[in-house]
Amino acid sequence: MPRIAYFGPQGTFTEQAASAFAREDDELVPVETVPLAFAAVRSGATDFCCVPVENSVEGAVPATMDALVRDEPLVAVAEHVLPVHFSVLVRPGTAEIRTVASHPHALAQVREWLAAHLPDATPIATTSTAAAAVAVLNGDFDAAVSAPVAVTHYPLSEYATEVADVRDARTRFLLLRRPGALPEPTGADRTSVVVTTPNRVGVLAELLTELALRGINLTGLESRPTKGKLGEYRFYIDLEGHVAEPQVGDALAALHRHSREIRFLGSYPKADHEPAPMSNAEFTAATDWVDGVRKGERG
C-alpha cells in the first residue's frame, strides 16, 4: 500500500492536493514540515511526498525550494493545481461570530471578504488553516478560514464557501519520489530543473537561448541567490516537454554544459493537459542525418 507523506496537518490545502494524487488504497501521512515530508521519502518511511511549490496559502514554498536542492534528489512524477478559495467553518448552531481564525497568509487573502461580511470579528492567527478548524471545534474561536477539505474531517458547518478576495489565485503542488522509472511522456508534459550558475553577465540569457534555439517553451522561472556563496545564483526552470523527447534531453545537456550544478526535478504530465508544441520529427531527422554522416552513409 503506497504511502504519501504531506505537509500537514490533516485538513489543509496540501492534504487536499495529496488526496487528489492518491489512488484508492494509498495511505496519507501528515508530517509537520516540508523538510520532514522530503525526509520521509528519502528514508523510505513513505513512497511519495506531496508539497506546495507555488503560491502556497500556508507559506511553505521557500521551504520546498530549499528542500528540492538539498540532500539526495527527489523527482516529481505529478503536479496538481488547486484554486485558492476558502470555506468559513463554524460549530453547528453558532449564532454570533466574534473571532475568526486562520493561518496569517489565509487571513491576508480574505481580508476584504472579512471586512464586508464579518467586520466586527477579531482575526486570530493560527499555525495552519486546519489548526484554526481544530481551535473552532475546541470552542477557542468562533470561525475558521479553512481549506474546503477541512469540513470532511471536523464536525463543523460551512458558514460560507468559495471565499477569496482574488478570484484567480492558484497553488501548485508536486508529488515527489526517489529517482526511478519516469512517467511516460503524454505529449502535454512539464520538465523541471534547478541550475546553479556563476554570477557573470549573460548567464541566464545563455540558458534561455539554449531552450529557445530548440523551440522549447519556458513555463516558469524563479531565481534565488545561493546561501553562503556570494554572487552565485540558482535558477528554478520549468519548461514544456519530457526529458524522454529528443530536443528536451538535448536542451538539458546544454544546460548541464552552462551550469556549475544541475539537478533534474522531474518530467510529469501538466495539470492543464494542454499539448506542448514540439517538433520532435525535425529534431530526430537532424540527429539521424548527423549519425548517417558519421557512419559514411550520407552526404
- Selected from 20, 35, 55, 59, the binder of a copy of itself by CB under 8 A is 59
Phi, psi of 248, rounded to the nearest 5 degrees? -70, -45
Grid coordinates given for 256: 548541464
Q: Which H/E stretch holds residue 93?
A: none
Question: Cβ contacts of residue 157 below 8 Å, gap of 6+?
Answer: 89, 90, 91, 92, 94, 151
Nearer to a copy of itself among residue 125 and residue 182 (C-beta): 125
Binding of a copy of itself by 104 (CB under 8 A):
yes
* Smallest separation, CB 68 to a copy of itself (Å): 18
Binding of a copy of itself by 217 (CB under 8 A):
yes
For residue 167, the SS3 value is: coil
Within 10 angstroms of residue 202's Cβ, the number of other Cβ atoms is: 8
- Selected from 20, 208, 243, 244, the binder of a copy of itself by CB under 8 A is 208
Residues 168 and 185: their CA atoms lie apart, in Å, by 29
Nearer to a copy of itself among residue 103 and residue 190 (C-beta): 103
* Smallest separation, CB 225 to a copy of itself (Å): 9
Helix %, strand %, coil % for the chain, to 5?
30, 30, 35
With contacts defined by CB under 8 A, name the span among 45-53, 71-79, 199-207, 251-259 that binds a copy of itself.
Answer: 199-207
Nearer to a copy of itself among residue 20 and residue 169 (C-beta): 169
Within 10 angstroms of residue 2's Cβ, the number of other Cβ atoms is: 12
Binding of a copy of itself by 213 (CB under 8 A):
yes
With contacts defined by CB under 8 A, name the span among 8-16, 67-75, 100-108, 290-298 that binds a copy of itself.
Answer: 100-108
* Smallest separation, CB 201 to a copy of itself (Å): 5
Binding of a copy of itself by 152 (CB under 8 A):
no
Instruction: Give the closest residue to 106 by CA, choosing from 60, 62, 158, 37.
Output: 60
Residues within the interface to a copy of itself (CB under 8 A): 59, 103-105, 107-108, 111, 122-127, 201-202, 204-206, 208-209, 211-213, 215-218, 221, 223, 277
